[in-house]
Structure formats: structure tokens, C-alpha cells
Chains A and B, each alone.
Chain A
Amino acid sequence: MDKYPVALITGCSTGIGLETSLLLARQGYRVFATMRDLKKSSSLRQAAVGLSLEILQLDVDKPASVKKAVSAVLKKAGSIDVLINNAGWGAFGATEEFTDKEIHAQFETNLFGLLRVTRAVLPAMRDQKSGRIINVGSLAGKMTFAGIGLYCATKYAVEAVTESLRLEVRPFNIQVGLVEPGVIETRFKDNRRKAQTFFQEKSAYQPVMEKVFAWSNERAKGAPGPEKVAGTILKALRDRRMALRYALGFDAVWYPVAKWFMPSFVYELVMRRMYGRFLKEPA
């Protein structure tokens, strides 16, 4: 009796989640691709014709939704062998100008949601005494960039989650790893949300932030596509002993190395130059 490994993936309507669910399905996984809004499922549905891929609704922000989706998968497939925590979005704006609500919303999805799904899946993985969890982190989890400080904070936290969870569940033969892409050409740039204050035109940071947005749009052009990340995730799943980190893309591999080896003041000089000269003078 041949049993296909079962994979649960969050945030599959676009980008990394979409590509990963298709790749894993083609490689013989039984994939449960989840997303918050099923209305956005058409592109995945079309691409997945003939593959062992099912689409489910899962909003990582909502405990009830997480519970429902996880128990649906367990009922249908009997096990969950792989969990890929991919759902997330980016808050853009100056750290000072986010409202409480915006801060909560950013952490709710990128961090608390990731934990919620993980905690829902872990009992099943412990029972079956095997399982793999891959968190989609980011270069922003190793380095902070001005203008996306809040997003970076969530990704730093994901680094800590992965590092600690990995050691906590190792006795149960569960492996946890982190995939860290750099800038990727995805819909991420459409999915980002700007701080409210920014639109109210009273932002002291506006001239600075405009340049950060322009710069990040510029960077996304010609960056590696989401299928590269999917490939790395597959590689991590195939490694007998999954490593803690899989960085991909020139920036994700080398920027942190540069950061480590530069003295603080040089690093900060470089960071300021990176955004142009705009961080020097206030508006």
C-alpha cells in the first residue's frame, strides 16, 4: 500500500504558496493548499488540473478556521506529514507612525497565525512520530530595512520561533526548518499595506518613505521568481536531516554575511547609502 506524504500549505492564492503547492503536487505529495479567500483560488485551480491537490479555506488569523481546516485534512488524509507556514504580508511605513491596530494585524498573520497553525498540527505529528515544518522566513529576518521595520520584526520573531521550536520537538522526530528568500518577484508588493498615517499626508516621514517604496519596487524587478523558493522548499523536504536555514538568492545569502563581518559603523553607512542620501536630512 503506497501512501503519499500529505502536505498542508498556507497562503496559496499567489506567489510562493501557489508555486510550492503545485511543485509538491507534481512531485507526488498529496497537497492541501489553503488560503483565506477562496475567491482568489481560480489561478491555482486552473494550474492544478489533474494533480492531487485540494483547495481549502484557512484564515490563519482565526482559531476556529485553523482548527476546522486542520481537522478536515486529518479526516481526509489521516495524517499531516509536512506543514509549510507561508501565509504573510508586509506592512510598509515608518515605525513611529503605525497604529496599534496596524501593529496587531501585522503580527497576527505573520507570527501568531504561524504559531496557531503549527500548534494545531503538532499533536498529529507527535502521534505519528514524524513530520516536517517549514516556515517561510525572509532576509528581513536577519537584517532590518528602514520603512519595513514592523515586517522585519515579525520575521526576526519567526527566526526565534524556528530556532526554539526545532529543539523542542526534535525528541518527537519532528524537524523544523526555515527558508529565507531575499527579494522575490511576487505579488508581495501588491499585498503590502502602507501605514494609514501615510495617506493622511501629515507624515513627517513621507519624503523618506516614498523613496523606500520606489526602491523596493525597483529591487523586485528581475529578482528570482517564487518557483525558486518552491524548489528550495522541496530540497529541504528531501534532505534527510533538514538544516535550520535555507537561504536563497544572492541578497539573502550574502547580505547577512556582509553584515556580520562589517564593523557597526561601516554597516550603518552602507545601509544609509543603499537608500540613497535621503536618510541624512529631515524633510
Chain B
Amino acid sequence: MNSRPVVLVTGANSGIGLACAEAIARKGYRVYATYRNPRKAGHLWRLSRSLPLFPLLMDVNRTPSVQKAVSQILKKEKRVDALINNAGFVMAGFWEDLSDKDVRDQFETNVFGLLRVSRAVLPFMRKQGSGKILNIGSVAGFAALPGLGAYSATKFAVNSITEALRMETRPWGIDVTEINPGEIQTSVVQNARLGERVKSPQSPYTPFTKYFENFSKERFEKAAPVEKLVGVVLKALEDRPMKRRYLVKLDDYFTYYLRWLLPDALWEWGLGIMFPWSRFPR
């Protein structure tokens, strides 16, 4: 008889997902940590020896894989108390340099995958009359950046899905929130995918792309340690009810409130200083 809450974390083989899964397991929750690539799950299996952490194969892009994993959990535990929708990646590149497939792949994982797992879990949460869903969003979910448009668009969409789910599932005692980290020290930059035409010599955006690379490298030098985000996730898991949205570091609050306060024209003027395209040779 185990009464400890069951948490499902997607994309848990590295970065934010791994850190969250480990910390949550240390708190005594029973954690189902999913990974897509078995070859990259070594660390999860090592952790599973000493913690109530159970690695599980799941590709959020594929419905059968999601359904199989969720039904495995339910068979064993008969419940799911919280879902942390973390699986995602960054597609970098200016809009014109992205192909149809690039855009679709980005949405498949970051948005449709999130919906897929949520939809698989929700019927059970409704049955048990409780549950929490934490979507990992991003600061890019309320401030879109050039060169990162596709990623921003997925996170804007997640923002909206969080709001909708929050209203729709509330009658069954289900609480939904979004956590919006800014730059966090993970391998998200190394794991970023580049759009099809980003490195092509024909791309008219090459000078901007170079500038953007340096810009994001510099930003990530000041990234916050992942523990900071983990603390917020743990807090959200214990909050009752959860806040509508959680931010992580001071920088993010600053961006959030600036975007909120400044009229579009001023905001864009600021971005124009950060990304001085017009001074580039073409």
C-alpha cells in the first residue's frame, strides 16, 4: 500500500526534466521519468536504483507510445497525481529559413506532444477527481524573439493551452499551471535544431544568424542553475491551488513586466537596439 503521490515527468533523460525528476523523487514522490532514446537513459536507470524513480520509454510524438506508457503507470499505481509536461526542444532559425517540416516537427513535440500526454492522463485525473498538470513554458512564451520565432510560437500556444485546460478541467478538481523559465543552464542550446536553410549560403539572413548565435551564447553565459527552476517546480507541486503562472528568476520577472507595461512600439524599439539588423551589410 503506497500512498505517496505519483508524478509523471516527460523528457526526463536530461536537463530540466532530469533535474526535476531526481529532486521530486528525493522528496518522496513516486516519479515516472520518461525518455525517448534508450541510449541516453543511463543516468535515469542509475538513479532508479536508489530513489523511487521509474524510467519509462515514451515518445511524445507518437500516440501509441504515449498510451502504452500511461497505461503501464495506471496498471501499477492506479493513479496519476501530477503530470509535468517538459519534453521539448528548440528550433532555431529565421522564419524564411525554416521548412514546412521544421515547423511541423517543432510543434509536434512542443505542442501536440504536450497535448497528447495531457489527453492520455486527463480521463483518469477526472475519474479520481484530482490532479495537477505543470506545463514547462518559457519566457519566449510571452516575448517572441527574431531568430527564435518557431520556438516562441510553440510556447505562445502552450500558454493558451494552459489557460484553456485550467478553465475546462477545474470542475473535476484538476489544477493546471505553467512554469516560465528564462535561460537555464542545460544542454538546450547544444540540443537546438537548426532550420533547413539556416546554414545555407543562399540564406539572406546569414549575417543576422551569426549575430543571433553570439547573442544567445552571451545570454546563456548568465543562465541560472537548474536548481532554481527545480525549486519552483517543487513549490508548485505543493501549492494548493497553484498560481496561474510561475516565473523563475529576477530577469524573467523583469522581461515579463516590461513586455506587459511597454506599448508595442517602445518594446520593439528596445528589441531594435538588442538586434541592430539595420546596421548590417546586406
Could you list which residues of chain A lie within 8 angstroms of chain B, going by C-beta atoms? Answer: 63, 94-98, 100, 103-104, 107, 111-112, 115-116, 118-119, 122-123, 126, 144-150, 152-161, 163-172, 204-205, 208, 243-245, 260, 264, 268, 271-272, 279-282
A157 touches B164 (CB 8 A): no
Q: Which of the listed residues A144, A172, A279 has the most CB atoms from chain B within 10 Å of its own CB?
A: A144
- The answer to the question of B215 belonging to the interface, with a C-beta cut-off of 8 Å to chain A, is no
**18 interchain pairs (CB within 8 A)?**
A95-B168, A97-B119, A100-B116, A107-B111, A112-B107, A119-B98, A155-B160, A160-B152, A164-B144, A166-B268, A167-B275, A167-B277, A168-B208, A243-B265, A264-B243, A279-B167, A280-B171, A281-B171
Cross-chain contact B146 with A147 (CB below 8 angstroms): no
- What chain A residues lie within 8 Å of B118 (beta carbons)? 95-96
Q: Give complex CA distance A95, B264 in Å.
A: 31
Contact A94 B157 (CB under 8 A): no
- Going nearest first, the 4 A-B pairs with the smallest beta carbon separation are A149-B164, A164-B149, A144-B163, A163-B144
- Interface size on B, as a range, is 35 or more
Contact B167 A168 (CB under 8 A): no
Q: A-side binding surface: helix, strand, loop or mixed?
A: helix
- Which residues of A lie under 8 Å from residue B169 when comparing CB positions? 96
Question: B108 — nearest CB in chain A belongs to which residue?
Answer: A104
A161: chain B residues at CB < 8 Å are 95, 144, 149, 153
**B contacts, CB < 8 Å to A:** 63, 94-96, 98, 100, 103-104, 107, 111-112, 115-116, 118-119, 122-123, 126, 144-149, 152-161, 163-172, 204-205, 208, 243-245, 260, 264-265, 268, 271-272, 275, 277-278, 280, 282
- Main secondary structure, interface of B, reads helix
Let me know if B278 and A171 touch, CB within 8 A: yes
> Is B277 a contact partner of A103 (Cβ separation < 8 A)?
no
Q: Is the CB of B244 within 8 A of A96?
A: no
In the bound assembly, the distance between CA atoms of A161 and B146 in angstroms comes to 9
What B residues does A100 contact at CB under 8 A?
Answer: 63, 112, 116
For B104, the chain A residues whose CB sits under 8 A away are 112
Closest to B275 in A: A167
Contact of A168 among B63, B94, B119, B168 (CB under 8 A): B94
Q: How long is the Cα–Cα vector from A281 to B173 in the complex, in angstroms?
A: 10
